[in-house]
Structure 1
Amino acid sequence: MDIVIASLDTSTVPPRLAAPRAPGRSKLAAERAGLAALLIATAVMYLWNITVDGMGNQFYAGAAWAGSRNWEALLFGSLDAGNFITVDKPPVSQWVMGLSGRIFGFSSASMLIPQALMAVAAVALLYGAIRRVTGSHYTGLLAGAALALIPVAALMFRFNNPDAAMVLLMTAGAYATVRALQRASTLWLALAGVALGFAFLAKMLEGVMVLPALGLAYLIAAPTPIRTRLLQLLAALVAMLVSAGWYVALTLVWPASSRPYLAGSTDNNFMNLVLGYNGFARILGRNRGGGGRGATPPVPSSGGNAATAVPGPAGPAATAVPAPAGRGGGGFGGNQVRGVERLFSGEFGFEIGWLLPAALLALVLVLVARRRAPRTDLVRAGAIVFGGWVVIDGLVLSYMKNLAHPYYTLSIAPAVAGMFAIGIHEMWVHRHTVFGRLGLAGLIAVTGVWSFVLLHRNSGWYPELRWVILVVALFAAALVAMPWDRGGSRRIAGAALTLGLIGSLAGPAAYSLATVGTAHSGGGPTVGPARADGRGGFGQAQSNPQLSALLSATTSTWASAINGSSAAAALEIESDKSVMAIGGFSGSDPTPTLAEFQADVKAGKVTYYVVSGQGARGGNDSAADTRSAGDNATTGRDRAGNGGAGNTTAGNDGNGNGANRNAGSGNNSGGFGRNQHTDISDWVTATFTPQQVGAATVYNLSGYTG
């Protein structure tokens, strides 16, 4: 404990216009050993039993599989090796996982291990940034450890969503900006722009949410004249546009007929995704499913009794069964509030909330403490970088209207950890003042109390833990508030601070360890101990070995076609064959047209058409509940509330229509918009003969001559 506190025992503020003085050999060796220990511990924690998540989110796993089979699929982030359609995000994350699969063979391990290694890299970059801001090696270690122990980081850096790659690149941008701030370096600022450009190619606008904070910090604090600062920022902006724009240009100049359709767009144009489906429409609440059309995305409610479809004996007609209830805030954010309280409530609070109040308090304390510092003060600039990142990105997350997954908060995890560490260091430096001691006590106390509140929300899980954390944190806060200035009393202050930091990190550490030890799958994974609600597993199709064996024997470009990307990806992983995802993720992407699909069938490129009776948990079902005449249309909906007509007679089908349907003719889109391709399903069911394969109804399209 003493060695940790000794690191923060700085009686003077380190120089702000130059890099910290090089330490002696023995000190340098100790610092390297400390950093190595942190990185090894992070690697062990994040790599331990990583395959417990299996294929994680099957949607992105399908793209990683496709990239491991086909170079063009890797380049564009295709969902299938036949390059019919992409995932609805840019491909940076798929590049990493797909390339790993090409080198080591596609598997759960080859896909997920790179994600965990990204966590180690993010911790190292955050350490480096905070080390330079504060001049303290141990404060850097504190920041890195805090990031590693934030539950949303422990969840998403072991999962296969694009967020891990995006956040690593955002952290790299912050690190490069800190380096640029030290000596007004154009090169380092340009590298920050490059990092954010590739963060954009990981998850579009979310990847550049840190940009305003980085730009503001450099504009205010860089040790160079204002004209030079503006020119350097312009150069960094150009670097960002070039590093992101080359891929955008590639999608524009590459003939659309020879590349996969860009999923989520209405016109096969990348910028349509940026401005619509994955951009401003999502923030402003104008997103209505893939391609910007269709029904409002479903908001599953805790304890709801919506139905999911299971096969009936005669085909894809289904019988409704209750969907498992879950704690609000998972999935697409059931029971969410909208506003500043969002990040502190529900699942959001469990994923990011632990150190968030302290980080916001730290921003205020640091700005007050450094109010008389020179313009170029690096500590204040660091507070603008990391505190501004928390505030700007956090406000967007708090007020975005549509599709707000709690795990999106990974985007502010490095900022929360960094700001917390800067605040602790700055108050320790000023511990000889009442302001410093009370500020330090406040940071520890607010973290301990808030951890108690969060753990109380899950009061059945180790109920003693929250009381221990509360007592330890308040006791430590009371000790650090006292004036321990001389001799042995300094050791008491140091021990009190160490105790306070242990109490501050105990809550998130416990929840992170529980997260690491629990399997996660689907589109809405959640943190903490295992629960009986499926852990946000919507979008996960159930296994069908008979169907997989049937598809494995095919030799066509696409073994089958099925509505929705998640269902298609699941079939690809099980059968090791490409599957055409009609309509993309939401089912409303305008591809393929009926004529295009008929041409592919006639050319022998598609062997089967699949109607899944079980579908994917949480909204990707292909069949709906069957009711007799006069039944209410709402009973023909799947769990997520998406229409999916089953076998009906004179009554209403799952879309609320009174028209007659053949068995399996109506299909859910496989996502969160209404199916736009009933013309294809109607043509298939009118032209071909169905057969039951496990829980699925399958149509053999072979031999069609038009």
Structure 2
Amino acid sequence: MTADTSVRPAESRWRFWRSPQGQPAWARPALLVVAAVTTVLYGWGIGSEAPHLYYAAAVRSMSMSWHNFFFAAFDPDATIGIDKLPGAFWVQTLSVRIFGPHLWAYLLPQVIEGVLTILVLYRAVRRLSSPVAAIVAVVVAALVPATVALNRGNVADTLLVLLLVLAADQVAVAIESGRTRNMVYAGVFVGLAFQAKMVQAWIVVPVIAIAVLVCAPRAQLRQRITATVLFGVVALTISLAWMSVVSLVPDRDRPYADGSQDNSLFEQVFVYNAASRANDSFTVGAANFSTGKSQAGYRAELVLGPENRFDHVFGGGGGREIGWLVPLALLGLLVLAVLALRRPRVDPGTGAVFLWGGWLVIHLAAFLIAGTVNPYYLAVLTPAIAALIGMGVVAFVRSVHVPGVRVVGIGAAVATVAYGGWLLGAASSELRWVTVGVALTCCVAAVFVRRARVLPVLLVAVLAAPAVASASVVADDYGPLD
């Protein structure tokens, strides 16, 4: 007799919803629900969402011929190129070539990339922590206004974030197993992220290097150094590949490199799109055009300038984009770092602190130091914020029985609610006070509920304000430039 290995129709129908072996039964259904919610948040009304006109025009031109596609021509005659590297716009161009030049075709790739980021983030966090931390992380990531707005537009940062999270996932495997090949894969993803958003993709490179050198389970430092060097070589090679190839083409046969003084792609990338953005200049960028009835400059209206760097992240426009949960994430990082001191170097939790904590700290430093910041740039903070809150919540729940821990957790939630209420100052007073009232009620309830129910109650409290802000982004048909 032979064993019957056929799958019953009912079992096959439900297999998609079942968690993999070794994960709780609720894990995959919960993740798929979060992915469905983010699909709605990112995709609702994109057919009427106004795209970034400069990038949309470039994509339309790139869709007209494979010559224009490869050289990222801004105009149909390929006389001048787009002022960025074309990685993210190649994806948009393929969408336009497949579906036609509809508004939603320009934005659809970003919706898909945003949902994929949620799925990959779950896996990356779970590898070094737990399914609970991972599901909390993706819930947090789904409700950050900066990310919701970003993924409803046609700018390059959505692909940047996806590729960096893919790189972090491979680094997590390297930290967990010590396999060198995963560092090579991480280098591939960082190199591709450079094609999407240039030098910003390199910000995480020192974080990845330190995390692997310190935490990867290799007996000899030499092996960890070898893996890190391979990562760097692969990332650098892929980062510079397209620029190097195009630079070998005679000037007469390719578009002029916009943003450069002498038709140099290297100047475009490293000076115009890097060094010039890092100082206090407030005039660089293709989007520096007049807008609105007042004909005020786009940058004066929307870009966060050098006058008040606090507002780059914590107050004003930057705070309303990303600031809601940054203090809570920093508190979580502090607690997790203290706990990591008690664990071995190669403990996965220690590696997670280095990876996600380093990601948050180095990006915060970059955005606070930079002279000008477009608000949608800040969405790159979301994965680290989400991961640290997810891991911090798990540490809190495990210790909630310890005297004083519940009080500290509730106090942190109350402070987060108060901060969120302050950031909601631009909203109507009714919406603001209802949101704060519901959140504070949850904080009070957390004093009395059982240990198992503390987590969902406090999550509702701290996520109330950013969730309302994200809902308003969708309801008002906003995108990254609104």
Give TM-score, length-normalised by structure 1: 0.62
- In structure 1, give the amino acid aligned to 2:102: S
Match for 2:303 among 329, 332, 346? 332
C-alpha displacement at 1:258, in angstroms? 0.7
Change (3 A) 1:143 1:308: closer
Give the corresponding residue for 2:60: 65
1:525 aligns with 2:478: no
1:330–1:405 contact (8 Å) kept in structure 2: no
For the residues of structure 1 that align with 2:338 and 2:311, how far apart are their CA atoms?
25
Question: Relative to total residues, which structure has the larger strand share, 1 or 2?
Answer: 1
Give the corresponding residue for 1:428: 397
Change (3 A) 1:375 1:66: same
Give the corresponding residue for 1:648: none
For the residues of structure 1 that align with 2:297 and 2:389, how far apart are their CA atoms?
35
Match for 2:327 among 346, 353, 357? 357
C-alpha displacement at 1:215, in angstroms? 1.6
Give the corresponding residue for 1:240: 235
Structure 2: state its 5+ residue gaps.
1-18
Cα deviation, 1:146-169, whole Å, max 9, x if unaligned, reads: 111100111011100111111111
C-alpha displacement at 1:477, in angstroms? 5.2
1:199–1:207 contact (8 Å) kept in structure 2: yes
C-alpha displacement at 1:438, in angstroms? 4.5
- Relative contact order higher in (CA < 8 Å, ≥ 6 apart): 2
Structure 1: state its 5+ residue gaps.
1-22, 292-296, 301-306, 310-320, 480-490, 527-706
1:352–1:409 contact (8 Å) kept in structure 2: yes
1:189 aligns with 2:145: no
Give the corresponding residue for 2:6: none
2:304–2:311 contact (8 Å) kept in structure 1: no
Match for 2:217 among 212, 217, 223? 223
2:439–2:462 contact (8 Å) kept in structure 1: no
Give the corresponding residue for 1:516: 474
Question: Relative to total residues, which structure has the larger helix share, 1 or 2?
Answer: 2
Give the SS at the match of 1:116. Answer: helix
Give the corresponding residue for 2:33: 37
2:121–2:134 contact (8 Å) kept in structure 1: yes
Give the corresponding residue for 1:537: none
1:209 aligns with 2:203: yes
C-alpha displacement at 1:125, in angstroms? 1.1
Cα deviation, 1:535-584, whole Å, max 9, x if unaligned, reads: xxxxxxxxxxxxxxxxxxxxxxxxxxxxxxxxxxxxxxxxxxxxxxxxxx
Change (3 A) 1:26 1:221: closer
1:124 aligns with 2:119: yes
- In structure 1, give the amino acid aligned to 2:44: W
Give the corresponding residue for 1:104: 99
Task: Tell me which structure has the larger Cα radius of gyration.
Answer: 1
For the residues of structure 2 that align with 1:25 and 1:290, how far apart are their CA atoms?
50
C-alpha displacement at 1:337, in angstroms? 0.6
C-alpha displacement at 1:461, in angstroms? 6.0
Give the corresponding residue for 1:678: none
- In structure 2, give the amino acid aligned to 1:39: A
Change (3 A) 1:444 1:290: closer
- In structure 1, give the amino acid aligned to 2:401: H
C-alpha displacement at 1:287, in angstroms? 7.5
Give the corresponding residue for 2:277: 282
C-alpha displacement at 1:280, in angstroms? 2.1
1:157–1:164 contact (8 Å) kept in structure 2: yes
Give the corresponding residue for 1:656: none
Stretch deviating more after TM superposition (114-123 or 492-501)? 492-501
1:414 aligns with 2:386: no
1:376 aligns with 2:346: yes
Give the corresponding residue for 2:141: 147
Change (3 A) 1:325 1:263: closer
Give the corresponding residue for 2:7: none
Match for 1:250 among 232, 245, 248? 245
- In structure 1, give the amino acid aligned to 2:374: H
Give TM-score, length-normalised by structure 2: 0.89
Change (3 A) 1:432 1:283: same
1:354–1:447 contact (8 Å) kept in structure 2: yes
C-alpha displacement at 1:61, in angstroms? 0.5
- What is the aligned residue count? 463
1:400 aligns with 2:370: yes
CA RMSD in angstroms comes to 2.7
Change (3 A) 1:124 1:254: same
For the residues of structure 2 that align with 1:322 and 1:422, how far apart are their CA atoms?
47
Give the SS at the match of 1:209. Answer: helix
Give the SS at the match of 2:302. Answer: coil
For the residues of structure 1 that align with 2:24 and 2:410, how far apart are their CA atoms?
31
For the residues of structure 2 that align with 1:510 and 1:28, how far apart are their CA atoms?
30
For the residues of structure 2 that align with 1:324 and 1:399, how far apart are their CA atoms?
25
Stretch deviating more after TM superposition (282-291 or 32-41)? 282-291
Give the corresponding residue for 1:53: 49
Give the corresponding residue for 1:200: 194
For the residues of structure 2 that align with 1:325 and 1:257, how far apart are their CA atoms?
34
C-alpha displacement at 1:121, in angstroms? 0.6
For the residues of structure 2 that align with 1:342 and 1:44, how far apart are their CA atoms?
28
For the residues of structure 2 that align with 1:212 and 1:435, how far apart are their CA atoms?
37
For the residues of structure 2 that align with 1:288 and 1:58, how far apart are their CA atoms?
18
